[in-house]
Amino acid sequence: MASAHGGHLGPGSTGRNRAVVVGAGPNGLAGAIALARAGMEVTVLEAADQPGGGARSAELTVPGVLHDTCSAVHPFGAASPFFRELRLEDHGLRWRYPAVDVAHPLAGGRAGVLLQSIDETLRRLPNDDREPWRKLFGPLVEQYDELADEIFRPILHVPRHPVPMARFGLSALRSATSVAKRWQRPETKALFAGIAAHAIHPLEKPTTAGVGVMFVVTGHAYGFPVPEGGSQSITAALCSVLASHGGVVETGVRVRSLDELPPAEVVLLDLAPKGVLELAGDQLPSRTAKAYKRFKHGPAAYKVDLAVEGGVPWENEDCRRAGTVHVGGPIEELAAAEREVHRGNMPVNPFVLVAQQYLVDPQRSKGDVHPVWAYAHVPNGFTGNATEAVLEQIERFAPGFRDRIVATHVRTPAQIEADNPNYVGGDIATGAATPMQVVFRPKRGLNPYATGIPGVYICSAATPPGGGVHGMGGANAAASALRSRKG
C-alpha cells in the first residue's frame, strides 16, 4: 500500500479550502460530496483497492454469480435524506423492489410478512394483530419524512418536528420484546422481533424496539429495495456525484498517521474510534481519547455466500418471493439466541439473515445458479465454524436446500475485520447498540463528530445515526465542519 504525502494538518495558506477524507465507505463518500458541493477541493484516500467499504460486490463463488460482500438490502439507502437530495438515479443507481419485502418463516409453512404497502401488510396479518400494527406504525409512516429528518441526526438536538419524534420515542426507548406484546399471533411477534434483531443486541434491552420500529416504518415508506448490479452500484453513483463536483478518490493509499496527510482545512475520518486513535495518537484531547478507548463493539457477523441452483426451496411461498428472509424461529427462540451471542456464546440456532437479491436483479445470476447472501449473529471475535449452523437454520425452513448448493464462500469475523478494519471483531454495525451508545456515540457531547482536534471529524457508522448505507454520518460530519468554518 502507498502512503499519503506528508504535510501539516489544519488551516493555512497551503491547506485553505482543501479537505481530505480518510475512508471511501458510504459515509466517507457522502461527507466528501457535501464538502465538494460547498466549494472545497476534496481528496478521498482509501486503503483498499476499490472504494465502497460495506457497499461492494464481487464474484465470490461461481464466475458470473455476483454477491454483495457486506451490505445487501437498503431501506435506509432509499430513504436517506442526503441520498435523495443527491438524485443518485441521475448517476446510474436503480432501485429494484421485491414482491415481498421481509418474510419470517415459522414451523408448518407459516410466516410473518412485511410488504411496502401498510394496507397490504394489514390484510395479510391475523385479524387480532391488524389494529395494533396500524396504530403503532400508521401515523409514523404518514409523517415519515419529518421523522427521518430527526432520526438521521444526533439524538441530542432540538427537534424540528416534535410530534412524530415524540410518537416514535414512546416506543423506541422500550425493549423489542415488550413492544411485541402488542400482538397476539406468533407470526406477527416473530416478524417484528426479526426486524428489531438488526440491533444485534438482546431484545429484552431498552431501545431495541427503536430499531424495529424504524425499520418497519422505513419499509412501509420506502420499501426494502436492492440496487441493480449489486451494492457496488451505490458506491459507483456516489463516486460519480463526487467527480461531478471535482472530488477525487485515490485507492490503495493506507494512512497510518494524521501527520501523513496533505495540508487540509478539513479532515473527515470514516473510521471506527479505534482507527482514529491509531491515526491521531496523542493529538487527541484526553477526554476524547478516553471515550474512544471505552467505545464498545457489538457481536459479529459470520457470513456465508452461496451459489444455489434453482434458489432456496422455502416451505412458505412468501419466503420464495421475499428480498429479505429472517430465519430465527419464534420470538422466544430468537431472543434466546441474541442473549447467548451477547454473553459471548455461540447459540445452537443462531439468528440468520438471508437476502435473495437475484429475484429482482437477475443479472446477478448465471443461468439457474443464483447468489444467496446470508450471515449469522455470532459473538464478537468468534473463532469457531458456524457454517453448518447457518445452513441448518435455512434447511429447517427450506427442506432440500443443501442439495441445491453449488458453491460456498465463508467469511469469519476475523476475515471481515481484515477486509474492513472498521468492523472490529466482525462487528459490521461499528458499535454495540447499548442504550448509552444509542444516545452518545462515539462519545458524550452535543457534537459527536468533532474529535477535539481543530478541523478533524469522525464520520463513520460509529457516529449518529449509526449503521446502514445511508451516508448520513458523513453528511452530518461535513455539515458540522462547514458550520465551524463559517464560525
* CATH 3.30.70, applies to 75-83+91-226+299-419: no
Residue 196 in this model has a pLDDT that exceeds 80: yes
**Which residue carries 399471533 as its cell?**
185
Instruction: Report the percentage of the chain scoring pLDDT > 90.
Output: 88
* CATH 3.50.50.60, applies to 18-58+231-297+429-486: yes
| pLDDT tens per residue across span 340-377 | 999 999 999 999 999 999 999 999 999 999 999 999 99
**Which residue carries 441493480 as its cell?**
228
| pLDDT tens per residue across span 297-346 | 999 999 999 999 999 999 999 999 999 999 999 999 999 999 999 999 99
| pLDDT tens per residue across span 221-265 | 999 999 999 999 999 999 999 999 999 999 999 999 999 999 999
| pLDDT tens per residue across span 444-470 | 888 999 999 999 999 999 999 999 999
| pLDDT tens per residue across span 18-72 | 999 999 999 999 999 999 999 999 999 999 999 999 999 999 999 999 999 999 9
For residue 368, how many other CB atoms are within 10 A of its CB? 11
The answer to whether residues 295 and 274 touch, using CB atoms and an 8 Å cutoff, is: yes
Instruction: Report the percentage of the chain scoring pLDDT > 70.
Output: 96
CATH code 3.50.50.60 region(s) in the chain: 18-58+231-297+429-486
The CA distances from residue 366 to 69, 95, 361, 400, in Å, are 18, 21, 12, 21
**Rounded Cα distance, 63 and 410, in Å:** 16
CATH code 3.90.660 region(s) in the chain: 75-83+91-226+299-419
Judged by DSSP in three states, 221 sits in helix
Confidence of residue 166 (pLDDT cuts 50, 70, 90): confident
Residue 2 in this model has a pLDDT that exceeds 50: no
Q: What is the mean pLDDT of the chain?
A: 94
What is the predicted pLDDT for the residue at 445? 86
Confidence of residue 157 (pLDDT cuts 50, 70, 90): low
